[in-house]
Amino acid sequence: MHRDWGTDVLQRKSSRVRATLLKENEEEVVVEKSFAPKSFPGNVGGGNNGEPPDNSSSNGLEKWVIKIEQSVNIFLTDSVIKILDTLYHDRHYARFFVLETIARVPYFAFISVLHLYESFGWWRRADYLKVHFAESWNEMHHLLIMEELGGNAWWFDRFLAQHIAVFYYFMTVSMYALSPRMAYHFSECVEHHAYETYDKFIKDQEAELKKLPAPKIAVSYYTGGDLYLFDEFQTSREPNTRRPKIDNLYDVFMNIRDDEAEHCKTMKACQTHGSLRSPHTNPCDESEDDPGCSVPQADCVGIVDCITKSVADPNVGRR
Task: Report in angstroms how near the CB of residue 123 gets to Fe ion at its nearest.
Answer: 24
- Contact characters 187-206, Fe ion, x per CB under 5 A: ----x---------------
Where in 136-175 is the site for Fe ion (CB under 5 A)? 139, 142
Pick between residue 15 and residue 197 the one whose CB is nearest to Fe ion.
197
Pick between residue 188 and residue 191 the one whose CB is nearest to Fe ion.
191
Among 31, 98, 103, 267, binds Fe ion (CB under 5 A): 103
**8 Å CB contact between 296 and 1:** yes
Pick between residue 8 and residue 191 the one whose CB is nearest to Fe ion.
191
Residues 29, 46: Cα–Cα separation, whole Å: 19
**8 Å CB contact between 35 and 182:** no
Residue 93's contacts (CB-CB under 8 Å, 6 or more residues apart) are: 146, 149, 150, 151
Closest CA to 200 of 260, 139, 136, 266: 260
Torsion sign (Cα): 91, 221, 194, 130: negative
Q: Which stretch binds Fe ion (CB under 5 A): 185-193, 286-294, 295-303, 309-317?
A: 185-193
- Contact characters 74-93, Fe ion, x per CB under 5 A: --------------------
Pick between residue 139 and residue 258 the one whose CB is nearest to Fe ion.
139
Cα distance between the two ends of the chain? 10
Helix %, strand %, coil % of the chain (to 5): 70, 0, 30
Q: Is 44 in the site for Fe ion (CB under 5 A)?
A: no
**8 Å CB contact between 194 and 103:** yes
Q: Which stretch binds Fe ion (CB under 5 A): 15-23, 116-124, 184-192, 276-284?
A: 184-192
Where in 104-143 is the site for Fe ion (CB under 5 A)? 139, 142
Pick between residue 103 and residue 252 the one whose CB is nearest to Fe ion.
103
Task: Report in angstroms how near the CB of residue 191 gets to Fe ion at its nearest.
Answer: 5
Task: Report in angstroms how near the CB of residue 258 gets to Fe ion at its nearest.
Answer: 11
The beta strand positions in the chain, using DSSP E, are none
Closest CA to 58 of 73, 74, 49, 46: 46
Task: Report in angstroms how near the CB of residue 168 gets to Fe ion at its nearest.
Answer: 13
Task: Report in angstroms how near the CB of residue 112 gets to Fe ion at its nearest.
Answer: 18
Pick between residue 107 and residue 117 the one whose CB is nearest to Fe ion.
107
Q: Which stretch binds Fe ion (CB under 5 A): 183-191, 209-217, 223-231, 300-308?
A: 183-191
By CB under 5 A, the count of residues binding Fe ion is 6
Neighbours of 147 (CB within 10 A): 18
Phi, psi at 31, each rounded to 5°: -85, 135
Residues 315, 299: Cα–Cα separation, whole Å: 12
Pick between residue 101 and residue 310 the one whose CB is nearest to Fe ion.
101
**8 Å CB contact between 185 and 46:** yes
Where in 230-269 is the site for Fe ion (CB under 5 A)? 260, 263
- Which stretches of the chain bind Fe ion, using CB under 5 A? 103, 139, 142, 191, 260, 263
